Amino acid sequence: WGSAPATSLLSLAVTSEQIEHLHRRFKQLSQDQLTIRKENFDSIPDLEFNPIRGKIVHAFFDKRNLRQESDGLADEINFEDFLTIMSYFRPIEMNMDEEQLDRFRKEKLKFLFHMYDSDHDGKITLQEYRNVVEELLSGNPHLEKESARSIADGAMMEAASICVGQMGPDQVYEGITFEDFLKMWQGIDIETKMHVRFLNVDTIAHCY
């Protein structure tokens, strides 16, 4: 499969065995082609009923997540791109210092921020934030619609208190910035909650 650039492998920080697993998964998804396209994700059973399936697939082709200079969506991704995306889901390493952990956390939250910021304008409206929370909760079979709506409303109000609360009286609210987003997720264990089961070739893709 050729050699991926060292930067991708270092950022992914996995063993050669895991990279082989990822490559087998890539070949399975791409049907032995050199690139993966959006329609290839239609073959993933675990994504079929995911309430934010579209946003997850969108994130894989978001050029911001691919660390490209340009904006928008890529039509296809190669194995190097695939490794770059998977690097956002890597687990914590025991030898990480405080600075590395902080950078690691911000990378994961930036990926998540991009999922919310679907129009690529660098901001998330409170309503967009509420909608995504409700979409996420809709996948829980034990939660009634009204309960999910109430939780989503509460999340929106909490976001508003964090974002609007730090604005001056003469400022106009334009949306949740990444800095606001970091404050909203403060104290939440995103490091272990955000992962994707891509290392198992038989089953695929749980993002939560």
Query: Which residue did the predictor score with more confidence, 177 or 90?
Result: 177
Residue 60 counted as domain residue:
yes
Average pLDDT over residues 45-65: 85
pLDDT digits (tens, 9 = 90+) for 81-139: 998 998 888 777 778 888 888 888 899 899 989 988 988 889 998 888 888 888 888 87
CATH number at residue 107: 1.10.238.10
Residue 208 counted as domain residue:
no
User: If pLDDT is split at 50, 70 and 90, which confidence band does 73 have?
Assistant: very high
Percentage of residues in the chain having pLDDT higher than 70: 81
Average pLDDT over residues 25-30: 91
Query: Which residue did the predictor score with more confidence, 97 or 189?
Result: 97
- The pair of structure tokens assigned to 41 is 């994700």
Predicted local distance difference test score (pLDDT) of residue 171: 67
Give me the domain span that covers residue 77: 7-199
Predicted local distance difference test score (pLDDT) of residue 26: 92
Residue 1 counted as domain residue:
no
Which residue from 18, 38, 34 is spatially nearest to 26, judged by alpha carbons? 34
Average pLDDT over residues 2-7: 42
- Whole-angstrom distance, CA of residue 178 vs CA of residue 123: 7
Which residue from 167, 170, 138 is spatially nearest to 151, judged by alpha carbons? 138
Residue 204 counted as domain residue:
no
Residue 95's contacts (CB-CB under 8 Å, 6 or more residues apart) are none
Residue 105 counted as domain residue:
yes
Q: Which amino acid is at 61?
A: F
Query: Which residue did the predictor score with more confidence, 50 or 159?
Result: 159
pLDDT score of 199 more than 60: no
The answer to whether the pTM exceeds 0.85 is no
Predicted local distance difference test score (pLDDT) of residue 167: 67
Domain count, the chain: 1
- The pair of structure tokens assigned to 137 is 């909760």
Percentage of residues in the chain having pLDDT higher than 90: 24
pLDDT score of 13 more than 60: no
